[in-house]
Amino acid sequence: MKNDNPLLQIFNTPYQTPPFRSIKESDYLPAFKAAIDQGKNEVQQIIAIKSSPDFYNTIEALEKAGKQLHIISDIFFNLNHAETNENIQNIAREVSPILTEYSNDIWLNEGLFTKVKIVYDNRSVENLTAEQNKLLEDTYKSFVRKGALLSGDAKKRYREITTKLSELSLTFGENVLAETNSYKLHITEENELKGLPEGVMDAAAELAKTENKEGWVFSLQFPSYFPFMKYAGNRELRKKMYLAYSKRCNNNNDKDNKEIVKQIVNLRVEKAKLLGYTSHADFVLEEHMALTPQKVNAFLEELLTASIDYAKNDVKEVEEFAKENGLNDQLQRWDYMYYSEKLKEQKFGLDDEATRPYFELDKVEKGVLGLATKLYGLNFKINTSIETYNDEVKVYEVFDEDGSFLSVFYMDMHPRASKQGGAWMTSFRDQYTEDGQEVRPHISIVCNFTRPTGKKPSLLTFNEVQTFLHEFGHALHGMLSKVTYQSLSGTNVYRDFVELPSQIMENWSTQKEWLKDVGVHYETGEMIPEEMIQQLIDSDNYQSGYAMVRQLSFGLNDMAWHSLNTPFDGDMIEFERKAMAPTELFPLVDGTCLSTAFSHIFDGGYSSGYYGYKWAEVLDADAFDAFLENGIFDKATASKFRTEILEKGGTQHPMELYKNFRGKEASIEPLLKRSGLIK
C-alpha cells in the first residue's frame, strides 16, 4: 500500500519547503515512527559494513543518517513553539521520549562507538580536510558526552535521566505558555487608563473585542505588558500586572513549575556525575568558549564590579525623581519602568511612544533587509506561492549579489495565543552540501511585535526595532552558511558565540545613516527628525548600569542552579534570592520567582549559558569597532565578517574565527565604553 503521508515524501514545493497546507496533525506521529525506523536502518547499515571503519563509511554516513527524521522534527517542533494547540502538545509529549530513546540507541551503541573510536584514533592517517577533522572530533566527543563510555546500570540510568529531562522541559514550557495566556486585566473605566498612549489603548480595545468584552483587555504578552508597565499611571493596576507576570508558574496550581525545576536541576546533576563531571555547568561549559564555571563566574563578577555602582545610581536617580513627582512610598519594582520612562522624557525630551509612528513595521522591515543588501549584497523577493503555517507569516526568497539563490526566509511577527512569548530565530532546513550540490537553508524568525489595529499599522518601539535587528542577525548566520556538513552549519556553534552575529546587528540601530533610512512617519511620510535621532542616540546608554546588572542577575541565577554538585532539596525561592542577592536593587516581593518561568535555561538551550549574551556583547562591541573604524557600511569589513564568521558555522573554534576577522582577541573595554561605564 502506498504511503501518502506528506511528511514522508520528497516535498514537491518551491525549494522543497514544508507543504504546510497538506500536513494534517494526524500525520505527525506515524511520520515520526516511520522516520525513526528508517534512521535505525541507516545506522544499522553503518554498523554492518565489513570493511574497515573510515571517515566516509562511518562519520559521514552517520552525519547523513536520520535525514528524514531531522526534517520532520524541525517542522513539528517549530510549530509547537509558534503555532501550537492542545493536540500538538499531546503529540510532543508522546513523541519526545521516543526521540530520546532513538538518540540514546545511537549514542550508547557499543558497536557503533567502537567504529567511531577506530576512525578517531587513526585520524592522522586519513588526510582529512579541516572541516572533516572538526566533524570527526565533534562526533567522537558527542558519543563520549552522551554516555558511550558508560556500561551496565550507569548506561540504563543515563537513558532514564535523558528521557525524563525531555519530558520535564516540555511540561515546563507548556506551563509558562498556559500561565502567560491565562491572565487578562479587564478594564471598563476609561479613567483607569490614565497615562496610556492612544496606540496602546487601541490594541487593548482590539483584544477586548476578540474576547467579546467591553472596554480594554491587557495581557502578559510582551507588546501588551511592557507598555502597560511603562505608561499606566494607576499604580495599583501596575502592581497587579507585575505580580501576575512575576508569579507565573509559582501559584501552587497545576501549572506550578517549582517541583519541575527541582527535578530538572537534580537530574542534570546526576547526569553530569554519571559522565564524570562535578556539575552540570562543568559538563556544559566544556563545549563553550568560557570552558569552566570559574571563568564564567569571574567574567560575571568583572562586569558586576564595573556596573553595580552605576546601577545603584540609576535606581537612586529614578527614586528621587519619583519622590519629586508624587510617590510618597518606597520605589517598587512595578514603579521603576513607569518613573524611569518619565525621567527619560525629561532628560532627553524623548518619549518612546513619540518615536513609534516613525517605525512602521513594513518600513523597518525594508530597512533591515536593505541593511543586508548594503553590507552583503543580498536581495529579497516576496514569494506568495511558498506555503506557511499561519496566514500572518511572510516568505522571502533570498538571492546573493551574483543572483544565485541563498535561502528561503520566513517572518512571523505578531503575538498569538498559540505562540510562545519572546523572539527567536530557527530553521526548517539547515544548509549543507550533498553529492557536490549545495542544499540551501530555510530560515525563520519569530517575534511578538505590536499588532496593527483598525486605526493604525503595526508601529514598533525602538526596543522592538533592535529586537528585529537581533533576530535578523541570527537569520543571516543561518542564511549565509557555506559548509559541507549540516551539523556544523549556520548557528550550530558554541552558545557563547552564537549571539555575536545577532548582537552586532543591533549596533546599526544607533547609527544616523541607518535610522534616516528606516524612520519615516507612517502618516505624513516625513523622515524621522534629526533631533529625535540624536535623542535616541543620546539616550541609548540611559540606565545602562541598571540594564547590565539586571542581565547579570539572570546569569548568576543560571550559574547557581547549574553549579550544584549535590541534589537540591531546599527552598527554591530562598536559593534563587541568595544567588541574585549581589545584584539586588529593590525590595523583595513575596510570591515572585524568576526560575519558574525562566524558559531560556529550563526549556531552551541556555542552561549554564545565559552569561553568553554578555560574553557575546564583549565580542560584538569589539567587532563593531572594525565597522566604526572603516565605515558602518564598508563592504570590505562586511565581506570579511561574512567569510570569516557568518559562512563558517561551527567548522572552526570560535576564537580562531574571531581572530581571523579582527586580528586579535576581543577586549572588554569597547563594551564598557559603549555602555557608558567607563569614560
Catalytic residues: 471
CA–CA distance, 235 with 240 (Å, rounded to integer): 9
The single-letter DSSP state of residue 358 is G
Q: Which grid cell sits at 145?
A: 558526552
Name residues whose C-beta falls within 8 Å of residue 437's C-beta, 6 or more positions apart in sequence.
none
Name residues whose C-beta falls within 8 Å of residue 616's C-beta, 6 or more positions apart in sequence.
496, 497, 498, 499, 500, 502, 503
Q: Which grid cell sits at 536?
A: 535616541
Strands 442-446 and 405-412, sheet pairing:
parallel
Single out the residue of 464, 541, 471, 547 nearest to residue 505, CA to CA.
471
Q: Which grid cell sits at 466?
A: 533592535
Query: Which helix (DSSP H) or strand (DSSP E) does residue 612 occupy?
Result: helix 612-630
CA–CA distance, 217 with 207 (Å, rounded to integer): 6
CA–CA distance, 423 with 414 (Å, rounded to integer): 10
Calculate helix-pair angle for 654-662, 612-630, nearest 10 degrees: 20
Looking at the DSSP bridge assignments, the partners of residue 381 are: 397
CA–CA distance, 374 with 381 (Å, rounded to integer): 16
What sign has the CA pseudo-torsion 434, 438, 439, 441? Answer: positive
Single out the residue of 108, 197, 196 nearest to residue 149, CA to CA.
108
Q: Which grid cell sits at 574?
A: 530562598
Own/partner pairs, 623-632, CB within 8 angstroms, 24+ separation: 623/500, 623/504, 623/658, 623/661, 623/662, 623/666, 624/504, 624/507, 624/670, 625/670, 626/661, 626/662, 627/507, 632/508, 632/511, 632/513, 632/514
CA–CA distance, 19 with 291 (Å, rounded to integer): 42
Distances (CA, A) of 367 to 338, 381, 472, 531, 534: 30, 14, 12, 20, 19
Length of the chain: 679
Q: How many CB atoms lie within 10 A of CB 110?
A: 10
Distances (CA, A) of 87 to 80, 90, 254: 10, 5, 19
Calculate helix-pair angle for 67-82, 25-48, nearest 10 degrees: 150
Single out the residue of 627, 629, 611, 411 nearest to residue 507, CA to CA.
627
